């Protein structure tokens, strides 16, 4: 297997939540959550992705969350800034700003809503990769964006030196296999429950939602899989499965993870419209899952 260009981002990356207090971004709590991740051993912090509620942040907030994250991290771990957009000009502006701030890489979601052709995808990502010196992670999540980036397009993108990674969130193991088998890109899983299956065919890590809660356990699973200890990795996968499944299955991300963070006393759980809290039944199910996992629920104390 060839050496993969983005392998320095292997392991656990955590797509951190953006904490709010009374409608405003809570930068003090953001720093606390970053310190929690660094102490746990997380390899890379990913601010203002889907989990960070980037669609409802203002442009100023978006840029400040990235800047505050980079300053707080201070080189101790990597920062992959979420700077994608459905407007290429906007993606360029955000990405250049993040690069100038000191981001180590950029997470570039496929342009959403306007549904470009495959050539449009290629030209969009090429424009970003040509504009900055930091590595680009192409984020393929058709359930959010309305259109999938084809494997053939990713193979074309792999020929560009600035494109080094793919965050694979199509939910298709075959898609991961095809990318790993035909390119030298590093594949990072974009669905927590599929981390081990994807790593079994050559993915090198995960950009995790559940990592907001249990980064240490996810690191154990990812490290075991990377070392070829699949008995240990399977044990961790099954231990984590219900929790990871709830994070993406009870409601749209980040509604469940924000609720879970509130339950364990690490966030207010506050969301911005149009995101709304879990309903009563889902809240009860999530609390049961958290207690069964062994996490102390502030709501139950």
**Domain membership flag for residue 14:** yes
Catalytic residue among 78, 126, 139, 147: 139
**Domain membership flag for residue 149:** yes
Catalytic residue among 78, 126, 147, 167: 167
**Domain membership flag for residue 262:** no
**Domain membership flag for residue 301:** no
**Domain membership flag for residue 276:** no
**Domain membership flag for residue 194:** yes
User: What is the structure's pLDDT at 3?
Assistant: 74
State pLDDT tens for residues 262-297: 999 999 999 999 999 999 999 999 999 999 999 976
**Domain membership flag for residue 59:** yes
167 is catalytic: yes
User: What is the structure's pLDDT at 301?
Assistant: 39
139 is catalytic: yes
State pLDDT tens for residues 88-110: 999 999 999 999 999 999 999 99
**Domain membership flag for residue 246:** no
Whole-model pTM: value is: 0.96
Residue listed under structure tokens 């405003």: 24
pLDDT tens across the length of the chain (301 residues): 557 998 999 999 999 999 999 999 999 999 999 999 999 999 999 999 999 999 999 999 999 999 999 999 999 999 999 999 999 999 999 999 999 999 999 999 999 999 999 999 999 999 999 999 999 999 999 999 999 999 999 999 999 999 999 999 999 999 999 999 999 999 999 999 999 999 999 999 999 999 999 999 999 999 999 999 999 999 999 999 999 999 999 999 999 999 999 999 999 999 999 999 999 999 999 999 999 999 976 555 3
Q: State the total domains in the chain.
A: 1
**Whole domain around residue 24: which residue ranges?**
7-227
Which CATH number do you get for residue 60? 3.20.20.70
């Amino acid at each position: 297997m060839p050496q993969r260009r983005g392998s320095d981002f292997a392991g656990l990356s955590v797509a951190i939540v953006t904490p709010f207090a009374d409608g405003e971004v809570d930068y003090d709590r953001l720093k606390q959550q970053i310190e929690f991740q660094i102490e746990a051993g997380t390899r890379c912090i990913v601010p203002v992705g889907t989990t960070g509620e980037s669609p409802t942040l203002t442009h100023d907030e978006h840029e400040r969350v990235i800047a505050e994250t980079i300053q707080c991290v201070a080189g101790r771990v990597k920062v992959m800034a979420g700077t994608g957009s459905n407007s290429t000009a906007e993606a360029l502006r955000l990405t250049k700003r993040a690069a100038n701030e000191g981001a180590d890489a950029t997470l570039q979601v496929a342009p959403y809503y306007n549904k470009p052709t495959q050539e449009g995808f290629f030209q969009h990502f090429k424009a970003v990769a040509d504009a900055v010196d930091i590595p680009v992670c192409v984020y393929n999540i058709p359930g959010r964006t309305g259109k999938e980036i084809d494997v053939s397009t990713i193979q074309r993108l792999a020929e560009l030196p600035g494109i080094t990674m793919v965050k694979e969130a199509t939910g298709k193991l075959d898609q991961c296999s095809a990318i790993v088998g035909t390119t030298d890109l590093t594949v990072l899983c974009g669905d927590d429950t599929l981390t081990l299956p994807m790593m079994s065919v050559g993915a090198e890590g995960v950009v995790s939602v559940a990592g907001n809660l249990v980064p240490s356990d996810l690191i154990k699973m990812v490290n075991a899989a990377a070392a070829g200890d699949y008995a240990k990795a399977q044990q961790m996968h099954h231990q984590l499965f219900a929790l990871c499944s709830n994070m993406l299955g009870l409601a749209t991300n980040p509604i469940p993870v924000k609720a879970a963070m509130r339950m364990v006393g690490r966030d207010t759980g506050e969301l911005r419209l149009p995101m709304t809290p879990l309903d009563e039944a889902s809240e009860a199910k999530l609390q049961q899952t958290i207690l069964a996992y062994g996490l102390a629920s502030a709501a139950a104390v």
